[in-house]
Amino acid sequence: MSVGRSHVESAYMQWAKLHSGAPVNLATSAIAALSMGDLPVHLEDLALNAPGSYGYAPLMERLGSYLGVSADSIVTAPGTSMANLLAMAATFEPGDEVLFERPTYEPMLQTAVFLGAEVRRFERRREDGFRADPDELRRRITPQTRLVVLANLHNPTSALTLEDDLRAIGEIARGVGARVLVDEVYLEALFYRRPPAALRLGPEFVSTSSLTKAYGLGGLRCGWVVAEPELARRIWRIRDLHDVNSASVAERISAIVMDQREKLEERGETLLGTNRPIIERFLDEHPEMEVSRPPFGTVLMLRAPIAPSSRRAASGDADEFCRLLRERYETSVVPGAFFDMPDCFRVGIGGGTEELEEGLERLAAASAEFQKRGA
C-alpha cells in the first residue's frame, strides 16, 4: 500500500541537518570539504546569468569524458539527491513496484515512496559482506517490478558491487522489463580506479552521482544522471518542470573543478590512504566492533558495544551508545537505525586525520564506559 505523498519525510535528513554536528564529527560521509582558496576560481570566469540550456556545454563535455559516455546520455541535476528523484520520476509510475536494497540510504527510499512506489526489498546480508547478490534479487523480483535500486559503493557499508554482479542484476531486471538505478555517489571515491558509469553494462542501467562525496563539494550541488539517450531526454523534460536555469556560477565552478580533477583525486587518495590504516588498527584493537572491512569508501559500519544490563539481548543498542558518545564525549556518528541496522553505527573516515584519531579515542573510551554501566 503506498503512503500519502503529503506525509512522506526523511527522519535521517532532519537528524543530519539539525543534530549531526559535534565538536568531533565522524558522522559525515564526504572527503574533507574544499574551500574557494583550494580552487583556481576567479570572479571574472564566472557568470551570474547565462542563457537557459540543457547543460553548460564545457561541463557536459568534461563530465562525458570523465564518465565514459556521450553528452546526450547525461542530465545535470542539483546533487545526487535531485538526480535520484529525476531518475525515479522517469522510470516508474505511481503504484508501480520498486525493488530496493536493505540496508539503504533512507532519503532515497523515501523519494521512491514520495513518488508513489510500491516498495519491495532485497537483502544485502552481513554474512555475505553486504553483497548485492543476484540470486537474492532473482528471488525478490516480480513481473511487476519496474525499477531496482542500489548504491555502489553501498551506503552505509561501502561494499563494492563488482561488474559481474551488476551485469547479472541488469539481466534479471531486463528479464521483467525493469531498469536498474545505481547511485554511484561513493564510487567517485575510487578516484582513478572508478569504472565508467553503469550504463556501459546495458541500456537498462541508469546511474546518479555528484561531486559531493569524493571531492568535498556538497555545496556546489553538481550532480548528474547517466541514462540511455531516450531516457535522458525524458529526464530533461521532467527537469523542465522544476528548473528554468541551472545555477550558472555553480556550473562554471564545476567545470573548473573537473579541470583540477587529478590534483583533487590525489588529495582524496592521500587522505583516505592515511585514514584507512587508522580505522583498521582500531578494528584490530576492537574486534567486537567489526562488522565488515571495506577496502574502499569513506564510511563503514561498526557494531555498538553491549551494556551489561542488556547482555541477554542478542545485539547492542546503538541509539543509547550514540547518545552517550555525543553527550559525554562530544563525538557524533550516525545511528544505524537510520539504515535498519539498529545494533550498529556509521563512521566516516574521509575527514581530517586528527579528527578521526581523536574521535576513535573517544569512541574507545565511551565503549569502555558503556560496557561498565550497570555492571
Ligand X SMILES: Cc1ncc(COP(=O)(O)O)c(C=O)c1O
| DSSP percent split of the chain into helix, strand, coil, nearest 5 | 50, 15, 35
Cβ proximity to ligand X: between 73 and 208 the closer is: 208
Cβ proximity to ligand X: between 182 and 279 the closer is: 182
Please identify, among the stretches 41-49, 74-82, 273-281, 307-315, the one whose residues bind ligand X according to the rule CB under 6 A: 74-82
81 binds ligand X (CB under 6 A): yes
Closest distance to ligand X from the beta carbon of 289 (Å): 22
Please list the residues that pair with 9 across neighbouring strands.
none
Q: Which of 97, 118, 183, 317 binds ligand X (CB under 6 A)?
A: 183
CA 248 to CA 232: how far, in whole Å?
21
Q: Which of 64, 79, 348, 351 binds ligand X (CB under 6 A)?
A: 79
Site for ligand X in 99-118 (CB under 6 A): 105, 108
SS3 348: strand
Q: Which of 10, 73, 80, 331 binds ligand X (CB under 6 A)?
A: 80
DSSP-derived pairing of the beta strands 334-335 and 344-348: antiparallel
Cβ proximity to ligand X: between 272 and 306 the closer is: 272
Cβ proximity to ligand X: between 21 and 177 the closer is: 21
CB 202 within 8 A of CB 170: yes
Please list the residues that pair with 226 across neighbouring strands.
74, 207
- Give the distance between the most distant pair of CA atoms in the chain: 68
Number of C-beta neighbours around residue 32 at 10 A: 16
Closest distance to ligand X from the beta carbon of 16 (Å): 8
Cβ proximity to ligand X: between 97 and 183 the closer is: 183
Buried b (16+ CB within 10 A) or exposed e, 348-367: bbbbeeebbebbbebbbebb
159 binds ligand X (CB under 6 A): no
Please identify, among the stretches 40-48, 76-84, 237-245, 319-327, the one whose residues bind ligand X according to the rule CB under 6 A: 76-84
185 binds ligand X (CB under 6 A): yes
**Could you say which DSSP state residue 197 is in?**
P
268 binds ligand X (CB under 6 A): no
CA 222 to CA 59: how far, in whole Å?
10
CB 149 within 8 A of CB 173: no
Residues forming contacts to ligand X in the complex (CB under 6 A) are: 29, 79-81, 105, 108, 151, 155, 183, 185, 210, 212, 218, 223
